[in-house]
Structure 1
């Protein structure tokens, strides 16, 4: 199978897989169903594997077909981007950029800088989804994702945004009413506000023991458990109890005096990273490239994302 035949066969395969039938794929390509069937059969013969199981009414990808489809989409997109790259040399970046982000980071850090992005590149349009689940960028059609934690995916490029640190906080009113904990053991007598992640896992509270080992506090009896870090922050501000939240959520309230830091010398800040991820491609669309560059620069200039631990000492009790 020569190169031109291979490209036609791959196009037939991708269109048929996306459309769900040879007939629908053929209509999209403007060729006959017989031609689509012949192209796919030739592709399977050349590869030496079956890509599809088909009946008169439907088709279903094999495991090999599913893997090949993901790579085929990347290859076809690379061809499109090669042409776009030539045009982009004399054109202003334009088009829609689809971004997936968590609710907390999306509302507080990402959304406020998007007007500046659109002002700088008026040809862009942004579609933003707030979703705490881990999405499949290629399968779900996203250009970018902002993700917290360590997510290893060889098909994605990961650019670091910031390192998250967790802190324990409470309002002055709460501490006046219930006292200031002097050690992690004292937390057993306090109202704890904890976070639950997708899947039901509750975020553990970790502390550094005198010998340098890490101990974990049992928070099963927490007064409140929430999935939203913004809600935890609000509950702590209102005096509901002691919460573990990210410094970037707490920073403005530490500065205003609405929250105070607790057990700073004992509490383990965690090891969480926020990354900007996008599909690993030989060529990047100009609309995606300028968005990546703009966002990374904007995040680098956000004070609350880069607070050194030494700066927190002024807010500890």
Structure 2
């Protein structure tokens, strides 16, 4: 029986994904046919991006799953017409990209590299940075990405702390949970990394109060979600010097508007949402293998829990 797989993520992305998906489906689910248009009642699976023009899932009565191309699902999970199972993207290449981004910027802040990169004649101030074993890094969010980043950073010898909503156990890391645990974790974060999903519970989690808990001179790395951070509170903390620097890869509005104060702030590094991009060749394998699992009666991988929002 032929399976109709609708690519509903836009033509630009289809240009990138067409060949990798066709090859991955041929290897994993040869009965699947990849299309960009189809009668809704004939569609078995939908490959999706939140920017899609498809917003009403009601007519897709035969659809067995919606397979999101991104790790984040906050822009789709609340859609009341979406009754089909929703899977988020968990891709080894995406995870590796995040590990490399966070590790690079954590080491940059740890070693004080900016001062040397921007040094001028006469700027001879040989201050030895601490060793990793003398520096504490905290990660908010201990899912697949947070645990992978923790593993990489703990290999350098950093004192690792992590926070999640519920109890977690991660090798090489002191784990905290709940409201009291969040305070304990933040108070130890000389470098803070945010890798939480964006939900009603996590929006503006890093507000004036939370930022004030961080040690004086802490650095922030946010490759998670822009809405985790109160922009106004962060700018105030940077202006006061309480936060020494913020490296930000995600924003409430993207691209970041040209008049946003982050662009001109001397203690902010803006990167254009590059920390963990979905790469077509590896993501195509994840999607095709999930379709194959579903057709064999196995549980879908990376299924979103609607009650938690991710």
TM above 0.5, yes or no, is: no
So what's the TM-score if we normalise by structure 1?
0.30
- Specify which structure has the higher proportion of helix: 1
- Specify which structure has the higher proportion of strand: 1
Larger radius of gyration: 1
So what's the TM-score if we normalise by structure 2?
0.31
